[in-house]
Structure 1
Amino acid sequence: MTTSAADTAATTTAEPKLRLEGVRRAFSVRGRKGAESTLTALEDVTLDIAAGEFLTLVGPSGCGKSTLLDLLGGLAAPSAGRILLDGEPVTGPGLDRGLVFQQYALLPWRTAQGNIEFGLEAKGLPRRERAERAREYLALVGLDGFADRYPHELSGGMKQRVAIARSLAFDPEVLLMDEPFAALDAQTRESLQEELLSIQQRTGKTVLFITHGIDEAVYLGRRVAVMTSRPGRIKSVIDIDLDRSAEEDLRSTPAFAHYRHLVWRELHDEVAQAQRSELARPAPASAEEADHG
């Protein structure tokens, strides 16, 4: 089933874990001749995410997906609207949200276990408890035996597993993921997708996963939210009803192809519009304008 943006706030009967209400984000940018103008990255973004839900978010390049994740993580504030977690406004970063980015952001001078313990230190956990929990989450992501390895001794997939374990270890309410598998090869990416689904099912975490890939969005998400070209809005939300218990390859089933086509159809015109806008737009005069374009 596909729902319009106007219906997304009513998709769950219970109080949502995460709620976005009319979120807008605009930036002041300086043009080539020094004149300032306003760049609107997001406009009237409204979306509910239920507790324990795995929701994926897709949209054309430059539509504000990463900007939205920054707002959800409390790394920036909306220009208008509000973001609620368990009914309380998000006003800044917090341990109730775990973030995983495409870049692993591991501390090179710390081992895999030490990187996971780093987040636990902020919670004031005793050293022994930190070590036990770090080992527990290393096992959860399939890295038993790699506790003493440094980042340069790990593959890309292993580094991302450590990053996921680090975010899970301090027990956040919500896991926010910004294209975490984009830099990995196809085989490793599919392996980590399966691992992530297994982890989410075991932990019951609420996950918002941003991706450019339609296949990835359909494979992971129980719902897929599609964004418009900039300024980004929620165009539609598609319910994904796949039999994930079947032994056959889910990606090769007719049902998977059906949902992939639904998402592609919603996204196709937005990608074309984004490309037309990019061609018509002057080259950015500042790094900030380029980042949010």
Structure 2
Amino acid sequence: MAHIVFDGVRKTFGEFTALDGIDLEIADGEFTVVVGPSGCGKSTLLDLLGGLARPSGGRILLNGRPVTGPGLDRGIVFQQYALLPWRTAQGNVEFGLEATGVPRRQRAARAREFLDLVGLTGFEGRHPHELSGGMRQRVAIARSLAYDPDVLLMDEPFAALDAQTRESLQDELRRIWQSTGKTIVFITHGIEEAVYLGQRVAVMTSRPGRIKEVVPVSFGDRSALLGEDLRSSPEFARYRHEVWTLLHDEVARARQQEKEAVA
């Protein structure tokens, strides 16, 4: 049985249809990236899986059970870090553990463990304003991982970062995924990011959003090809072109929809 199942999922907002007939299955431990044109419903899809919204039709199953609301089996990382400014990095990671009743001493040890996992040993006592954007996003990732969710949901988490930091965190995220074995659903509008991170890339249509095609991405031993080595490989170029070809018409259609909405 698939770990996550979208079965005919539909989402409307009044007369506006954001998603229409989403069918997608994601295996346990899989890194799936969802890519599509602006306004296609990518973030809405993630909100539904996170239990932050309810589908208007169809169903979403997690481990065979319907998703009916938020839960500790899902950790969410947003584009904006959403850190508590009055708490240190360690305090922010401990925040989610407090809600689950983890004793204070265990909270501190677990927070340090996950800050080390994301490469922030030595920064436990820093407040968010004392950290760079990339470091803040690392804290957000550590916070989501600390209470051990089954699934990590990521909504364009690196979009606001500069190119060098973004690529560094992509490498970091792949390392974390390989070491933890978490199921990850990652939303992006970047084709290169989708191909670099995902085992499978689900391409969405323009509004109303549907799954146009799912592209399996296989580079063999990725650990032997990281960073620029992988991005400059012929295989990477081939996958990037395949996803770009699928997206090209959808982006043009989305732009036409925007023009018609303004007119």
What CA distance in whole angstroms lies between the structure 2 residues aligned with 1:136 and 1:146?
12
Residue pairs, 1:224-263, within 5 angstroms: 224-243=201-220, 244-247=222-225, 249-263=229-243
Partner letter of residue 267 of structure 1?
L
1:245 is displaced (CA, Å) by 3.1
1:27 is displaced (CA, Å) by 0.4
Q: Which runs of 5+ in 2 are unaligned?
A: none
Give runs of ≥4 in structure 1 deviating > 2 Å. Answer: 245-248
Q: Does 1:94 align with 2:80?
A: no
The structure whose Rg is larger is: 1
What CA distance in whole angstroms lies between the structure 2 residues aligned with 1:110 and 1:165?
14
1:241 is displaced (CA, Å) by 1.0
What CA distance in whole angstroms lies between the structure 2 residues aligned with 1:101 and 1:39?
24
What CA distance in whole angstroms lies between the structure 1 residues aligned with 2:197 and 2:89?
26
What CA distance in whole angstroms lies between the structure 2 residues aligned with 1:72 and 1:246?
33
Classify the secondary structure of the residue corresponding to 2:223.
coil
Alignment match, 1:34: none
What CA distance in whole angstroms lies between the structure 2 residues aligned with 1:213 and 1:282?
25
Give the alignment partner of residue 29 of structure 2, picking from 48, 52, 64: 52
Cα RMSD of the aligned pairs, angstroms, is: 0.9
Alignment match, 2:6: 20
User: Quick one: percent identity of the two aligned structures?
Assistant: 72
TM-score normalised by L of structure 2: 0.98
TM-score normalised by L of structure 1: 0.88
Give the alignment partner of residue 276 of structure 1, picking from 256, 259, 262: 256
Q: Which runs of 5+ in 1 are unaligned?
A: 1-14, 29-37, 284-293
What CA distance in whole angstroms lies between the structure 1 residues aligned with 2:212 and 2:34?
11
What CA distance in whole angstroms lies between the structure 1 residues aligned with 2:77 and 2:2?
22
Post-superposition Cα deviations, 1:1-54, rounded to whole Å, max 9, x if no partner, equal xxxxxxxxxxxxxx11111000000002xxxxxxxxx00000000100000000
What CA distance in whole angstroms lies between the structure 2 residues aligned with 1:123 and 1:223?
32
Partner letter of residue 11 of structure 2?
R
Post-superposition Cα deviations, 1:236-280, rounded to whole Å, max 9, x if no partner, equal 000001131334610000000000000000000000000001100
